Amino acid sequence: MCATTPVWGGNSARNWADPSLQIDLVRSIDRACFDFLLLEDSSFVPDNYGDSMEFYLERALRAPKNDPLPLVPLMTQASKHVGIVPTISTSFYPPYLLARLISTLDLMSDGRVGCNFVTSTALRAAQNFGLKDHIEHHTRYEMADEFVELVKQLWNSWEADAVVADEERGVFVDPCKVKTIDFEGRFFSSRGPLNTARPAQGQPVLVQAGGSPQGRAFASKHMDVIIAAVGTVEEMKAFRDDVRDRVAAHGRDPDKTKILYQITPIVAETDAQAQEILEARAKAKDPKVMLASMGSLFDIDFSKIDMDEPLAGLSTNGQQGTFKRFMAMGSTLREIAQNFRFGIEGVAGSPETVASQMAEMMEEAGGDGFLIAGSVNRRYVAEITDGLVPVLQRRGLVRKAYAHEHFRDNLLEF
């Protein structure tokens, strides 16, 4: 499941910063035995639509958004098994700081933490961290590769049994089992070792969602979970085949890398009710919101482009994979606004119907499951965890109980 803040609906809008919403969410998905909760993040207030922050702030599009890392201990304390995956930027975080934060969280939760690595695509985010212009897309991924390499070495700078806590000998840490790393890269360097112990899982679960060839190359080299935001079974299949080939080319086992597809199902009492919701949402959809939202991922002001003029000469230093899919959806903005889907949409029905549709897609495309994304309100979460999940469990498609203590072991087991 993928969580975004803030939230419209119910009583949660006014209390958007109250962590009880996230605590209720994590308890629900822990009870429903999900693999993990991904806490998405970005570090800017967009002003891409009409040269102004107004459009975004009025609609709470990407802001306000609290930092995900302080939510992690709250969530692990309020749950027993589910993995928690905060998002961090490889372009702006110092790798040592991140390695220590994640190690601390993994140790404190006894092995329940992962990390979603993003390169951050927006110019405004780069400017918040002191850059005048953003780093080029391919350079961001070269940095990301080195960042993850360095972070892994820092986690490995303590052997698993370095902490001996031997009261009789008066030795807390065996000094032979802690080593400097002396990392010297193109972008980062760090002497090490980390000044906290190795994470409880050895290496926390690594997650990434990149659509471009560079993004896929990075994910295939390092990641345990790779997420695809594609819209059709054909795209799912093509993504999976490509990424599995890339994982194997790195000498890694493709069956140990989980590929998940982003989906936003509508679950209602009956198929007819779900169709009504689907139709009402399609009717209420404002193309401007989608264009403003996508514009903030591409750093393009779509308000300045005529909806019916053929599009020409557009390019981006932002999200490449999404941009390519976006541009392929039509020759004008109006056509694209009608056709573009960020992930899989249109799956709607009773719990039985949605379960069947998801099972069919998984059967046809192959893969390891879905990342359910949607606004985090209690009602939607209950429709998933208490409506859909029991049907999936009855059919043996998802777990009924966790078998292991650590997030990584649970992830690999089912």
Ligand X SMILES: Cc1cc2nc3c(=O)[nH]c(=O)nc-3n(C[C@H](O)[C@H](O)[C@H](O)COP(=O)(O)O)c2cc1C
Where does this chain bind ligand X (CB under 6 A)?
2, 40-42, 87, 118-121, 209-212, 214-215, 227, 229, 262, 319-322, 371
Cβ distance to ligand X smaller for residue 99 or 225 = 225
Shortest separation between residue 305's beta carbon and ligand X, angstroms: 21
Cβ distance to ligand X smaller for residue 199 or 211 = 211
The answer to whether residues 287 and 337 touch, using CB atoms and an 8 Å cutoff, is yes
Pairwise CA distance, residues 8 & 377, whole Å: 7
Half-sphere exposure in the Cβ direction for 113 (13 Å, CA):
31
Pairwise CA distance, residues 3 & 308, whole Å: 34
Half-sphere exposure in the Cβ direction for 244 (13 Å, CA):
16
Q: Considering only CA atoms, which of 66, 64, 46 is closest in space to residue 56?
A: 46
Cβ distance to ligand X smaller for residue 259 or 336 = 259
Shortest separation between residue 143's beta carbon and ligand X, angstroms: 13
Q: Nearest to ligand X by Cβ — which residue?
A: 215
Shortest separation between residue 300's beta carbon and ligand X, angstroms: 14
Cβ distance to ligand X smaller for residue 5 or 385 = 5
Shortest separation between residue 161's beta carbon and ligand X, angstroms: 35
Shortest separation between residue 216's beta carbon and ligand X, angstroms: 7
Cβ distance to ligand X smaller for residue 65 or 406 = 65
Cβ distance to ligand X smaller for residue 193 or 321 = 321
The answer to whether residues 63 and 75 touch, using CB atoms and an 8 Å cutoff, is no
Shortest separation between residue 217's beta carbon and ligand X, angstroms: 9
Pairwise CA distance, residues 195 & 97, whole Å: 11
The structure tokens listed for 115 are 């990390």
Shortest separation between residue 57's beta carbon and ligand X, angstroms: 19
CA distances from 245 to 110, 233, 262, 304, 371 (A): 33, 18, 21, 41, 22
Shortest separation between residue 119's beta carbon and ligand X, angstroms: 6
Going by DSSP bridges, is the β-strand pair 183-184/189-190 parallel, antiparallel, or unpaired? antiparallel
Pairwise CA distance, residues 88 & 76, whole Å: 18
The answer to whether residues 7 and 380 touch, using CB atoms and an 8 Å cutoff, is no
Q: What radius of gyration, in Å, describes the C-alpha atoms of the chain?
A: 22
Cβ distance to ligand X smaller for residue 211 or 231 = 211
CA 53 to chain CA centroid, Å, is: 25
Cβ distance to ligand X smaller for residue 234 or 306 = 234
Going by DSSP bridges, is the β-strand pair 2-3/258-263 parallel, antiparallel, or unpaired? unpaired
Cβ distance to ligand X smaller for residue 42 or 156 = 42
Shortest separation between residue 387's beta carbon and ligand X, angstroms: 22
Shortest separation between residue 239's beta carbon and ligand X, angstroms: 11
Using CA atoms of 394, 396, 401, 406 in order, give the dihedral in degrees to the nearest 10. -150
Q: Considering only CA atoms, which of 193, 263, 274, 180 is closest in space to residue 228?
A: 263
Q: Considering only CA atoms, which of 116, 111, 200 is closest in space to residue 402?
A: 111
Cβ distance to ligand X smaller for residue 43 or 377 = 43
